[in-house]
Every structure is written in structure tokens, then in C-alpha cells.
Amino acid sequence: MRNTFLIFILFVFNFASAQKTNSDCTDNFVLSNTDSNKIYTYNAQNSITTQDNYSISASNDIKMKAGNVIVLKPGTYLKKGPLYLAKIEACTICEQTFTFLNFFTPNGDGFNDFWKVDWLDATSFSVVSIFDRYGKLIKVLQNVNDSWDGTSNSNDISSSDYWFKLKYVDCNGNTKEYKSHFSLKR
């Protein structure tokens, strides 16, 4: 009969501050020796499990964070010298929420006259670049209160589809991009 160990405590060997973070939280994560386990943080919403005979070499630093359970199967071996951190706590899922109009009508009637990105968390806003269908930069929105009135160099531009690229910093401090499009209707 093989034993399975469940770790519900925090333990650390030779803590090092440098790390590469896999920030996306998966439901479950299985570690195998085919992984190049140098300096990593593994995050899982539910569980992290090692395969049989999983080993961490002396030159590798591993952090595991799981919402429910970390399972070290038989043969899991920590060679002398590595950092190994196992922690049971909720996996932080990084979400920023923003909205934008699919179309706007800059005709002065007071409804949908401006196009902008609305943020529920204004601290994560960075920059929005708006392009025409040929990829020409039309407008840059540089703060959370900026909007576009459908003009370029004080001239109305034609009804068409426009594309935007949103650059922002997520709650883990990573720079992200979101691309989409909208229509200007006159």
C-alpha cells in the first residue's frame, strides 16, 4: 500500500527572493519531473499534486500555493539545499473590469456622443490607443477621464469601424493588452 501525504502547513528551506511566477490560477496542477523546475511559483485554485518519484534538485526553488490541498505522492524527494514552500490558501484571481460602447454617435444629442473606456477600478487604467481600419493612430486616451469625440485635428471623421488597444497593469503588477473594435455612426 502506497502512502499519500497531505501538507497543510507552511515550511521553508533556504528562502530565496528571485522567482518566476506563473500567475494564472488553474483548477488543479500536476507537477512532473519533465517540468523544468528551476525557480517557480505554482498556483492552483483547488490542488497541486506531484507525480510518483518527483524530485526537486538542490539548485531549484519551488513555491506551491493551492486553495485546498497539496499532495506529495510517494517518492517525492527534496534534495539538500532547495527552497520549498507549500501553502494552503485561496488562489488570487486577478480581474480588472472595464466596459466600452460598441458604437457611439457624436451628433450632439447628449446620448453616446463620446467613446471611452469605463473602469470599475480606475487605478489599473493605463492607456487606450484608437486606430482607423488602416492601422493609423487616431487618438490616445491617457487617463481614466479621457474620451474621444469622433474628431481628428478638430475635423469630424467618417462613420466606420475603429479599433483600440488598451494597455493596463493587472492586480499582479503585469502589463497586459486588450484589443477590440467599435463603430462610429453619424
Is 53's pLDDT higher than 90?
Answer: no
Whole-angstrom Cα distance, residue 90 to residue 93? Answer: 9
On whether residue 35 sits in a domain, the answer given is yes
Average pLDDT along the chain: 68
On whether the pTM is more than 0.85, the answer is no
Per-residue confidence (pLDDT) for residue 175, from 0 to 100: 81
Q: Is 98 within 8 Å of 120 (Cβ atoms)?
A: yes
C-alpha cell recorded at residue 10: 507552511
C-alpha cell recorded at residue 60: 531549484
Q: State the total domains in the chain.
A: 2
* CATH code for position 132: 2.60.40
Q: Is 163 within 8 Å of 178 (Cβ atoms)?
A: no
Out of 105-109, 142-146, 182-186, least confident range: 142-146
Whether residue 104 is found in the same domain as residue 142: yes
Whether residue 77 is found in the same domain as residue 20: yes
Whether residue 81 is found in the same domain as residue 111: no
Q: What is the pLDDT of residues 67-118, one digit of tens each?
A: 555 555 555 555 554 444 555 555 555 666 778 888 899 999 998 899 988 8
User: Reduced to 3 DSSP states, what percent helix, strand and coil does the chain have, rounded to the nearest 5?
Assistant: 0, 45, 50
**pLDDT band at 126; cut points 50, 70, 90:** confident
Range of the domain at 123: 98-184
Phi/psi at 160 (5° precision): -175, 180
Q: Is 57 helix (H, G, I), strand (E, B) or coil?
A: coil
Per-residue confidence (pLDDT) for residue 99, from 0 to 100: 80
